[in-house]
Amino acid sequence: MIAIGFEGSANKLGIGIIKDDEILSNVRHTYITPPGEGFLPRETAQHHREHILPILKKALSDAKLELKDVDVICYTKGPGMGAPLNVAALVARTVAQMFNKPIVAVNHCVGHIEMGRLITKSDNPIVLYVSGGNTQVIAYSQQRYRIFGETIDIAVGNCLDRFARLLNLSNDPSPGYNIEQLAKKGEKLATLPYVVKGMDVSFSGILSHAESQYEAWINEGYTKEDLCFTLQETVFAMLIEITERAMAHVGSKEVLIVGGVGCNERLQQMMGVMCEERGAKLYATDERFCIDNGVMIAVAGLLQFRADKCRGTPWTKTNVVQRFRTDDVYVSWRDD
């Protein structure tokens, strides 16, 4: 069966095509803002409108297919920013109507998880989902992806992005990537708040502390490299800690990292060390798959479609929603 996935919930616009478990194409275009600026809904939606048709054409030609060959259209229902979500949803609905194809509404977070499971062949891992808008520790139980821990304020990716803005770093290809490169050259660790509550974390205090200390740090001789290093060492340690706590609590021996921050090599390395210390196995993917993309939506959509006896989402429910929790989704396709 052939599925196409449309993703545009944040600043990445992606379309991907799969044939069963095989990836036929994966095309993405990212809206990049000038240094010091974040992306806003209106401009992001504008970006998506400009690029969605060329991306669709490329995804089809990479896959050597036409839309009539596709069996099911999948799109991101949420969570995300309303206006950008709507651009991808509108095109998905239009295509579905034009070619008389079933359509499936997909939860973005579940897309990350299912894609990660497919690529890494991990069976039932604890999932650390880290991106610009989400920070969650997830485990599957009884037809739902249950959220064991999460951020109680801002997401880790948002913390990294805003820290990059404070340092006036480039957003190309992404603020997180540039922090990672600078951090590799950092040596001196400054002191940042470290806030863990059970399996939850908090990052907003770190950010406000960094904002108020920034000049003092520079005067004390800390370089931008040192500060990026400090930020990564601190926030990633918090993430590893809550992941480990969840593993101990449920007795799990597998971890899967998904989401845009998940391609950070230092985060993967730290997680690998933790896993080794407790005899567990780490699964991670590279930037093609952990950063938002269309394939993940196709993967989760196809699972849902098949489990649902190929019925698809009723037309009246093919809207978008800005808030849509991972544990709101009934996982009909797993039988464990």
Q: How far is the CB of 137 from other proteins (least distance, A)?
A: 9
Task: Determine, following the binding rule CB under 8 A, whether residue 174 of this chain makes contact with other proteins.
Answer: no
Task: Determine, following the binding rule CB under 8 A, whether residue 111 of this chain makes contact with other proteins.
Answer: no
In the 8-state DSSP scheme, what is residue 317? G
Peptide bond into 173 cis (omega under 30): yes
Nearer to other proteins, 133 or 312 (CB): 133
Task: Determine, following the binding rule CB under 8 A, whether residue 180 of this chain makes contact with other proteins.
Answer: no
Binding pattern to other proteins, positions 43-82, x when CB under 8 A? ------------------------------------xxx-
Task: Determine, following the binding rule CB under 8 A, whether residue 125 of this chain makes contact with other proteins.
Answer: no
Pick the stretch among 118-126, 207-215, 245-253, 299-307 that binds other proteins (CB under 8 A): 245-253
Query: Applying CB under 8 A, what is the total number of residues that bind other proteins?
Result: 56
Side-chain half-sphere CA neighbours of 127 within 13 A: 32
| DSSP codes, 186-237 | --PPPP----EETTEE--HHHHHHHHHHHHHHHHTT--HHHHHHHHHHHHHH
In this structure, the number of other CB atoms found within 10 A of the CB of residue 162 comes to 18
Task: Determine, following the binding rule CB under 8 A, whether residue 240 of this chain makes contact with other proteins.
Answer: yes
Among 68, 121, 309, 323, binds other proteins (CB under 8 A): 323
152-157-159 Cα angle (round to 5): 65
Q: Which of 279, 251, 299 is nearest to 116 (CA)?
A: 299
Task: Determine, following the binding rule CB under 8 A, whether residue 144 of this chain makes contact with other proteins.
Answer: yes
CA distance 296 to 108: 8
Among 277, 309, 314, 336, binds other proteins (CB under 8 A): 277
Contact present, 264 and 180 (Cβ < 8 Å):
yes
CA distance 287 to 118: 15
Say whether 264 counts as a known binding-site residue: yes
CA 202 to chain centre: 19
Task: Determine, following the binding rule CB under 8 A, whether residue 205 of this chain makes contact with other proteins.
Answer: no
Q: How far is the CB of 198 from other proteins (least distance, A)?
A: 4
Say whether 200 counts as a known binding-site residue: no
Binding pattern to other proteins, positions 248-267, x when CB under 8 A? xxx---------x-------
Task: Determine, following the binding rule CB under 8 A, whether residue 133 of this chain makes contact with other proteins.
Answer: yes
Among 63, 182, 274, 284, binds other proteins (CB under 8 A): 274
Q: How far is the CB of 19 from other proteins (least distance, A)?
A: 28
| DSSP codes, 136-152 | EEEEEETTEEEEEEEBS
Q: How far is the CB of 325 from other proteins (least distance, A)?
A: 8
Residue with tokens 């896993």: 275
Task: Determine, following the binding rule CB under 8 A, whether residue 10 of this chain makes contact with other proteins.
Answer: yes
Say whether 69 counts as a known binding-site residue: no
89-90-94 Cα angle (round to 5): 115
If 0-12 CB within 10 Å is exposed, 13-18 middle and 19+ buried, where does residue 191 land?
A: exposed
Length of the chain: 336
Helix extents (H) in 10-77 = 41-63
Q: How far is the CB of 98 from other proteins (least distance, A)?
A: 29
Binding residues for a divalent metal cation: 108, 112, 129, 292
**Chain contacts with other proteins (rule: CB under 8 A):** 9-11, 79-81, 109, 131-134, 139, 141-142, 144, 146-149, 151-153, 155, 157-158, 189, 194, 196-200, 233-234, 237, 240-241, 244-245, 247-250, 260, 269-271, 273-274, 277-278, 292, 322-325
